[in-house]
Structure 1
Amino acid sequence: MSTDPKEGIEEAIAPMVFELARLSPLDPCWSCEGHLDPMGELWKTPKVWFYCDSIVAIRVLTASIQDLFLVRKLSAQWQIAAVYTGETGLDPMFSIQPCIQEGDGDTLRRLRKDSALISTHVNDLFRRHAGQFKASLR
């Protein structure tokens, strides 16, 4: 996903981008499927940046991703991080990304598999956690 319409969304991260876009109020704006450097080492991890003006939605998304890690479906822990966009960036922007920063081609394959798994489960988990959060407010 790029600001340049000629670039588009990279294939390995596209499912996560589309699933996050289905979760209101998340609005994906940039993504990367992860890349290796010329030596075959992990250079960039898979991630999706998105706008979100609801801290509750961030909390629910975080709980959803943690569920997958706690039941050992993910190879690495993933996090939701605030993204600094410069002095003029006033809209709340976040990133979903793995906590790992080093590795090789095998690591990247596992992280891409994680992103696909998150894509498969995030919608149902998000709705379940949102319902639990709402019920806890009563």
Structure 2
Amino acid sequence: HASTEGVTHFIPIRAAGFLMQKELDYLAGAVSDPKRPFVVILGGAKVSDKIAVTQRLIEIADTLIIGGGMAYTFLKSQGRNIGHSLLDEENLSFAAEMINKAKTENKSLLLPIDHVIAEKFDPEDTRITSQVPDGWMG
């Protein structure tokens, strides 16, 4: 996306290509009539950007795997310590609601069980652990 989006501002006539149409058709089919088991991996930074997608996927997926920064909002909604990890505080109740919905509908909602943590953004100074202590971020 990032490598191609900017050029569209300089071209007067813009359209999606055949490959993009093929990908959209494939995704539409996967969502409307999924092969089972239907497993979805969803990640990114903010839960707020994916509320509608998460609500829809929890209805149709057999398993929903939450990763990336948004996983910390889900973990925090369960009372887990996330240190200084990314948190979408406004959507803690939404995360808890989705976890409960998965349970009541007999779906699997999987969250990370281990984390690469650091006290600051430094790729040379990280650790792998099952807990994110205070002052650290995952």
- The TM-score bracket by the shorter chain reads under 0.3
Instruction: Name the structure, 1 or 2, with higher relative contact order (CA <8 Å, separation 6+).
Output: 1
TM-score normalised to structure 2 length? 0.26
Which has the larger share of strand?
1
Q: Which has the larger radius of gyration?
A: 2
